[in-house]
A and B are shown apart, each in its own frame.
Chain A
């Protein structure tokens, strides 16, 4: 199944619509390059990019590492990026907390390394830490305070990158996995998809958990990538809005450990744990792990309580021996691997710039566009608008609240469809607006959301997709 001469041709084909793939596509689309993004799922942000804690970190790895460089190239830019892409962001700062005398000596090296990596950090006594976060355990012996640590909505960020890429002409192809490759003279020439082949001068492998498979299909390096499952509790805003700081334990070897962090939406997350698994599609939660997470977070913030619990979920990070990748393949010079087992969101702007400069070193010659789209239209939101009374003047549909828990109006849902990358399911609407994601988990509003989805897509309610896997609300109407 070789590509035909008349197959569409792109300068760059990006495989994977997670936060890294979309960030790279958005950056490259600001040059004169023609860009195509292929995503297997029916929406962007369907893997680790939607199931993470939404931390925009300033420090994770020792100075001098690729990871530290990519984070350092990213974190000072968040205010600007999030303003342009209409992404919720704040910088509450984080406390890494020692709760035993044994943990206390580990704080100083963390603090020193953070400063060496280029961020602000200070050592605090337990008492000083509790002044910054009164909900912190009285057992707190001391803490490292990282005042610039940020909270970001990782899904809205990914959607924003995809939207920006599309606004600058990139083709975003959803439900369109890469199935194989044409290779000539050691270089990839085309990518096969179920919709036919696309020819490509450069290919970016940003396919997360599928990264190893994609590399193998392309005749690239062997890469072993496996799922590392993390489980979370979501707690109500009534708890999350009382948190002043992100609260983290002294880190563990594989992960930052189980944290108590607010989200940009006001709710709080407890998690994630880290469990090495084999099946990438396994996103199940289990009661024992969730109980363990609760116990660990209670040690940090005793007021944590399941009285506030709204939902549990699990997501799989893409673990790999090479924890952070932004480099060309050793066998296929026009194939670039991009991946990150933990700080993908936090390093995404820096990773996108890195990929562009690597491409340039390899001969990519498309200049910057003189006047690319840099900013997306902001959607006013009932729950966050400083002047809610004036909203109906902008759009009468603001008078219709669809999701009461999350205060999402028909106008906000309509706005998600007025995009290059609209939602294709109830889950897609939730990701962009929070509708159905609140305290009652759609008990009141899911029907309304489904009917609005029906109205905007022209599909009957039975054929409306529930989530990204294509399963529909009704049976007997699957594609």
Chain B
């Protein structure tokens, strides 16, 4: 069996499966961990258990195409088809794209998915002087943290009633970690509907119950509406033949819950497959 993704879900799935099949774990990054750091205690524990169970690693290796019984893998070792009876896909989540939210408007500079914004900010790129963050969950908070040193004016737009953004726990209950946005302007319960600008974004249009508000901005960070990240051809939509998806429904979760959910999902894979 091939497990794509060496985050907590992928590692837990691999460990579970290793008891009854040959398992190889692939990840685009050269170290396990996914969204957690590679030296996080949970990652070290899970990776150690995989190791002990005989899991093989193909790190720094990107899976690009799944066909019945084989997976095209591209990495330092070269480009090769791996034989596998089943693909267990644990690719994590990404924020919704502008089209998915949906936010209308042209392709503009300054409109960035949160993971891109965070990486660029870490590379000392000043994203904007007037930054709008769409979403208030973990990506939004991480993006806010990443641009903290840029002295930008920040506005947070949370489509849901309370701050908490796209993660399920925020949907019903407590405003989460609003201290992350202390001093920022907050637009709770507003829905972003369009961006506008010439070359660079200059406006984010918001709506709430028939009201309309135009935010003046020069950067928009898309950090809402978690979607499972799917990028292996042949394993995009459900159901896909020979594929088990092990992906959390939201951007975050307690890692123990993610791991046990992953174990439960792969335990349903019929035993004869891959043995």
Contacts and interface: CB of A to CB of B under 8 A. Distances in A.
Given A447-B120, A469-B198, A440 B113 contact: yes
A446 B120 CA distance: 10
Contacts of B125: 461-462, 473-474
A399 B199 contact: no
Contacts, number: 152
Given A442-B116, A443-B94, A474-B125, A467 B108 contact: yes
B113 A446 contact: yes
List of 4 A-B pairs having minimum Cβ-Cβ separation, nearest first: A469-B199, A471-B109, A466-B109, A471-B200
Interface in B55-78: 62, 64-65, 72, 74-78
A312 B99 contact: yes
Interface in B107-148: 107-110, 112-113, 115-116, 119-120, 123-129
Contact of B64 (A309, A407, A427): A407
A474 B233 contact: no
Interface string A394-422: 00001111001101010000000000000
Interface in B201-240: 218-219, 229-233, 236-237
A283 to B, nearest CB: 4
B199 A467 contact: yes
A217 to B, nearest CB: 22
Contact of A281 (B102, B115, B198): B198
Q: Interface centre among A389, A409, A443, A476, by most B CB within 10 Å? A: A443
A399 B75 contact: yes
B106 A313 contact: yes
Nearest to B65: A407
Contact of B28 (A238, A284, A401, A438): A401
B208 to A, nearest CB: 16
Interface of A: 236-238, 281, 283-287, 290, 307, 309-314, 382-383, 388-389, 391-392, 398-401, 404-405, 407, 409, 427, 438-444, 446-447, 450-451, 461-462, 465-467, 469-476
B53 interface: no
Contact of B120 (A236, A391, A471, A473): A473
B30 to A, nearest CB: 12
B123 A314 contact: no
27 contacts: A236-B236, A284-B105, A290-B104, A309-B100, A310-B97, A311-B99, A312-B102, A383-B64, A388-B72, A388-B74, A389-B81, A398-B74, A399-B75, A399-B79, A401-B64, A443-B115, A444-B115, A447-B116, A447-B120, A451-B123, A466-B109, A467-B107, A467-B109, A470-B199, A471-B110, A474-B126, A475-B126
B116 A399 contact: no
Contact of B110 (A237, A283, A466): A466
A441 B236 CA distance: 15
B80 interface: yes
Interface of B: 28, 62, 64-65, 72, 74-81, 94-95, 97-100, 102, 104-110, 112-113, 115-116, 119-120, 123-129, 193-194, 196, 198-200, 218-219, 229-233, 236-237
A198 B172 CA distance: 66
B128 A475 contact: yes
Contacts of A438: 231
A237 B236 CA distance: 10
B216 to A, nearest CB: 14
Contacts of B94: 440, 443-444
B120 A382 contact: no
A179 B54 CA distance: 69
A476 B218 CA distance: 11
Nearest to A437: B107
B7 to A, nearest CB: 14
B113 A427 contact: no
Contact of B78 (A399, A401, A404): A399
B106 A283 contact: yes
Q: Interface centre among A286, A310, A400, A444, by most B CB within 10 Å? A: A444
